[in-house]
Structure 1
Amino acid sequence: MLAGVAVRAAPEEQEAAMAGSAQATVIVGVDASEGSLRAVRWAAQEAARRDTSLRLFHACVVDPAGSETLPEHVDRPLRHAAKIARTAAPGLEVEIQVRLGLAVDLLLAESAHARLIVLGSHDLGGLRGALVGSVALRVAAAARCPVVVFRGQADPRGPVVVGVDSSPASEEALHFAADAAAARGVPLVVTHAGHRRTPSIEPAFADQRAEDRREIEELVTGWTRKHPELEITTRVVDDREPARALMAVAPDAQLIVVGSRGRGPVAGGLLGSTGNDLLAHATCPVAVVH
């Protein structure tokens, strides 16, 4: 709760708040930007798929001490966002949460208990002076739950694309992506993208590509059994820029999923160049999974 301010939710919002506090929920950052509202719509539909509640989160860095109600510039976007969420997912439990503090710090604390955090590609309230994307980048690098940064468009007919390698992080990313594709009833494209330094040694290069493909196919075997109805395609792509390869392998993708080895709250390499490039340039939502 924002210090000094009582958030007077509508009766249905108060009831949803009590229900949502008892379970892991989907959290979406809200401000007055169009990017934020698109993220709210996507997050509402995702919460409905997961059969959980949605929390609309707003951070304030200035405490309007002594006020009994939220300022209009805070209250109006939140009410509008709640309406969008309920329209996108009728019957969804929606909670409004306003906190005093820096958005990054507060969201990282919330990530310990959330099922998923969804952020627009613009700054959250209270950090409008920061570089565009800095909040999303820092939260995605260090959150303890998956983070989706809503960019571009999410074509509901497009596949889910996941980038994998041999790391535990990519195994978690594959888990997230397979469940997401199955829940949406769309194909899953499992992609290993990297650059070989010795492509001129053709036999060794071909052998390595074949080994990479075998490893990926072994990796997806368990998910084929778990989701027998899921169409899974594996791709091995040689590219100096893995992020570019992931965006190109399915231009109509509705979601790109990558793993993260992030170890702290400071942005700058913790996601790796692939994650950073995707969050900066992808034309669809990007999920970063720890």
Structure 2
Amino acid sequence: MTRNRLVGLAAGLLAATLAASTPASAADPAKIVLIAGRPSHGPGDHEFNAGCKLLAKCLAQVPGVQPVVVAGGWPEDESVFDGAKALIFYMDGGSGHPAIQGDHAEKLQKLADKGVGLGFMHYGVEVPKGEPGAKFQDWIGGYYETYFSTNPHWTAAIESLPDHPITRGVKPFAVKDEWYYNIRFRPEMKGITPILVAKPDDATRDTSHSSPPGPYKHIQEAKGRPEVLAWVVERPDGGRGYGFTGGHAHANWGDPDFRRLNLNAILWTAGLDVPAEGVASEVSPEELKQNLDPKK
């Protein structure tokens, strides 16, 4: 064997050794895309852009994570999805949900088939029943169905949390928000793990302050029943799904447990390890005021 060939073999072995000893997160950071919807509602509510940028700022402090924020709804350049471990949608939903316009659902299905995690937050969990609803049941386990689900503003008291990576470092909390409940889940909650569960009081079930206006008889008849407000699934394709119904009021991102739960959930949805104590982050009152959409 010639000297040059020996040198080449040695160099190749050294390179292979270095590659094997280099953490994957350092060489190839996990890309997580947060898609913020267009401006919606009044000042301080549905601040999708500010919320996504705040979460991205916190995620950027996690080693090996590369958060990317897309503002204004579905991206004009869809190549931003290339290589993503998870897509998190925080936006208005309903019949105008960006995820179900044109061929978007088909494109998301192809990503899901590859194991890409999908998360939908607040109004983003609402789509029409039928094919869109069935898609969401496949992707994240359930969806908000108009006239079946309801969306009053109330204080959800989270008194206990399950043993799950998403709840690491999260303490019981109580936050007033537009918490959706009576979600249209898969039959028999198949494959669904509830993460946040709270019990609406009777006044919340009887209120007319929902959209469309209540009260709904089937909601009233379920008085005393605990309701699932956030949940996860692990899909057969190897990917993960996350649904979170809070997030109406931007100020709630200032609550450390509300925030930590979602940061943990985003990592988990991307297939990443959640730190033993959850994702640590600090958000100042000044940071909560940053990137707010100009609204009247």
TM-score bracket, normalised by the shorter chain, equals 0.3 to 0.5
TM-score by length of 1: 0.33
Name the structure where helix makes up a greater proportion of residues. Answer: 1
